[in-house]
């Protein structure tokens, strides 16, 4: 007789096939027959994913990240699917449910540090605000769900943790390693393509593309969807190298490519967050007295001429001009001709909005098309609704303010303070800085960088929640292993061969 696990997998697989058959039908009846082959491929991937869970995870993560800008963002849109993110999320939930009912190990074995408990409280506040929006306002429920759906990306945390826990008792690290290794090589390949795109000045990736002027010359600019992966492995490789661990040529090339890709984004927010995280990383390693002084000097000797040349040729001039504008705006409060001033105005506008309605819990997850009912406000023009959007794609704090009020803002601030204290105290990774500690530290540093970028993007509130969830899951799993001391397996160098 078949085991209960095998029966569950078959049941879930059959249900998922039926659901995806409905999706395919919806796509076809709406004049999108050309996408039929894409749906067939995704169905096959889902079937394989239910049998081989790793592929199911990768495919759902890729879909939620617009296939890492390697395919058009609309490739799976149409019919009942409004965004590719929705397709990936739905697939992730089917996979997660199949893993949950067949898992023999409880997620309750995961040890949660204080910063994550605070973050859970923030998510609970978001759920309460969402439910209040559904009950209080006469807006269509589907529109409210669409506004809230990005927060559901954090469900990727338990899905990943359940996957990691299904390893044998002595194979937890190997389970994590089997998940991270394909991501490492994928991000390595994407980094090469991204640098090549800049060198040939021809778009290779899909998504946001624009031009950036330097010394009278115009250059192609894009911000790829996969950078979060690159920074995770960058901080791991770099910290391993600075702590005198052996890093092979592949890892050193990875470090170079990632910094080059950062430079080619022409985005001051990314520059600031990268520089800040790099400073924190060096400080933490110095604090543990594990740093290799000669390698730190070498890194400085390499970085100084690169920075000097970029400044002399005018590469960073726009960055310094904007930085000066930010300083002037922050000190004097004067209106500057700068996008940062615009973001601050958006934030002030949302504060004024909730002050007139409900400052404590905000106005909730109100869809952009109904924002005008709460008064006039500034925002990016939304072509779909023909007016300014209530949602803030340029500053995440604006979203937190109007959706969850001062309660959500205060809780999220507590989360930021707690995770900063956790990082600087070394509670999770300790002073030993072995490979597991470096991986956990890398995940925490990615989250720290994303927190910094909340001032220039909708990080933590937009379409990147699944990426933050990945970092949370890795950090929590490694923290649990180190706390319980279940095993000690050296992985340093594994990603560098």
Q: Which residue has the higher pLDDT, 291 or 478?
A: 478
Lowest mean pLDDT, pick from 81-90, 416-425, 441-450, 462-471: 81-90
Three-state DSSP at 390 gives coil
Task: Note the residue count of the chain.
Answer: 497
Handedness of CA 193, 196, 202, 208 (dihedral sign): positive
Lowest mean pLDDT, pick from 48-57, 404-413, 418-427: 48-57
Q: Which residue has the higher pLDDT, 17 or 198?
A: 198
Indicate if the pLDDT at residue 471 is higher than 60.
yes
Confidence class of residue 494 from pLDDT cuts 50, 70 and 90? very low
**pLDDT (mean) for 332-351:** 73
CA dihedral of 321, 324, 330, 333, whole degrees rounded to 10: -70
Indicate if the pLDDT at residue 218 is higher than 90.
no
**pLDDT (mean) for 218-228:** 82
- pLDDT recorded at residue 191: 92
CB distance 234 to 258 below 8 Å:
yes
Q: Which residues of 300-333 are buried (b: 16+ CB within 10 A; e: fewer)?
A: eeeeeeeeeeeeeeebbeebeebbebbeebeeee
Q: Which residues contact 430 (CB under 8 A, 6 or more apart)?
A: 437, 482
Average pLDDT, the chain: 78
Indicate if the pLDDT at residue 317 is higher than 60.
no
The span from the CA of 39 to the CA of 79, in Å, is: 12
The span from the CA of 404 to the CA of 427, in Å, is: 30
Beta-bridge partner residues of 78: 81
Q: DSSP letter string over 341-366?
A: HHHHHHHHHHHHHHHTT-TTT-S-S-
Confidence class of residue 43 from pLDDT cuts 50, 70 and 90? low
Indicate if the pLDDT at residue 44 is higher than 70.
no
**pLDDT (mean) for 102-111:** 78
State the residue for tokens 């296939």: 67
Q: Which of 86, 79, 89, 105 lies closest to 26 in space, CA to CA?
A: 79
Q: What is the pLDDT of residues 401-410, one digit of tens each?
A: 999 999 999 9
């Amino acid at each position: 007789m078949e085991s209960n696990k095998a029966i569950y997998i078959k049941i879930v697989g059959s249900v998922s096939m039926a659901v995806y058959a409905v999706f395919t039908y919806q796509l076809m009846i709406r004049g999108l027959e050309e996408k039929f082959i894409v749906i067939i491929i995704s169905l096959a991937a889902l079937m394989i994913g239910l049998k081989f869970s790793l592929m199911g995870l990768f495919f759902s993560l890729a879909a939620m990240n617009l296939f890492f800008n390697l395919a058009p963002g609309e490739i799976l849109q149409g019919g009942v699917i409004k965004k590719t993110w929705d397709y990936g999320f739905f697939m992730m939930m089917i996979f997660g449910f199949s893993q949950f009912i067949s898992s023999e190990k409880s997620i309750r074995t995961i040890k949660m540090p204080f910063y994550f408990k605070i973050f859970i409280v923030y998510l609970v506040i978001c759920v309460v605000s969402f439910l209040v929006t559904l009950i209080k306002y006469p807006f269509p429920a589907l529109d409210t769900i669409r506004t809230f759906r990005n927060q559901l990306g954090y469900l990727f945390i338990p899905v990943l943790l359940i996957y990691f826990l299904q390893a044998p008792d002595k194979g937890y690290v190997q389970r994590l390693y089997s998940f991270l290794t394909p991501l490492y090589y994928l991000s390595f390949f994407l980094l090469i393509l991204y640098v090549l795109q800049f060198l040939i000045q021809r778009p290779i990736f899909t998504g946001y593309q624009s031009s950036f002027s330097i010394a009278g010359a115009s250059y192609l600019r894009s911000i790829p969807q996969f950078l979060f992966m690159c920074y995770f492995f960058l901080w791991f490789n770099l910290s391993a190298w600075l702590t005198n661990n052996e890093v092979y040529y592949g890892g050193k090339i990875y470090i170079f490519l990632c910094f080059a890709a950062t430079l080619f984004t022409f985005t001051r927010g990314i520059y600031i967050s990268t520089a800040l995280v790099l400073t924190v990383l060096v400080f933490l390693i110095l604090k543990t007295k594990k740093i290799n002084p000669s390698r730190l000097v070498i890194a400085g000797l390499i970085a100084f001429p690169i920075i000097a040349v970029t400044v002399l040729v005018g590469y960073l001039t726009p960055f310094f001009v904007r930085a000066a504008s930010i300083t002037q705006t922050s000190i004097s409060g004067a209106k500057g001709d700068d996008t940062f001033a615009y973001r601050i105005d958006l934030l002030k506008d949302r504060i004024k909005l909730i002050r007139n309605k409900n400052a404590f819990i905000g106005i909730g997850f109100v869809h952009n098309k109904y924002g005008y009912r709460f008064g006039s406000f500034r925002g990016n023009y939304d072509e779909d609704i023909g007016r300014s959007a209530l949602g803030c794609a340029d500053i995440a704090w604006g979203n937190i303010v109007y959706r969850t009020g001062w309660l959500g803002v205060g809780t999220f601030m507590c989360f930021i303070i707690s995770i900063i204290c956790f990082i600087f105290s070394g509670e999770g990774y300790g002073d030993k800085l072995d490979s597991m500690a470096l991986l956990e530290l890398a995940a925490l540093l990615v989250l720290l960088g994303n927190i910094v970028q909340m001032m220039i993007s909708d990080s933590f509130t937009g379409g990147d929640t699944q990426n933050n969830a990945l970092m949370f899951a890795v950090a929590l799993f490694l923290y649990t292993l180190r706390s319980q001391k279940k095993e000690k397996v050296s992985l340093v160098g594994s990603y560098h061969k």
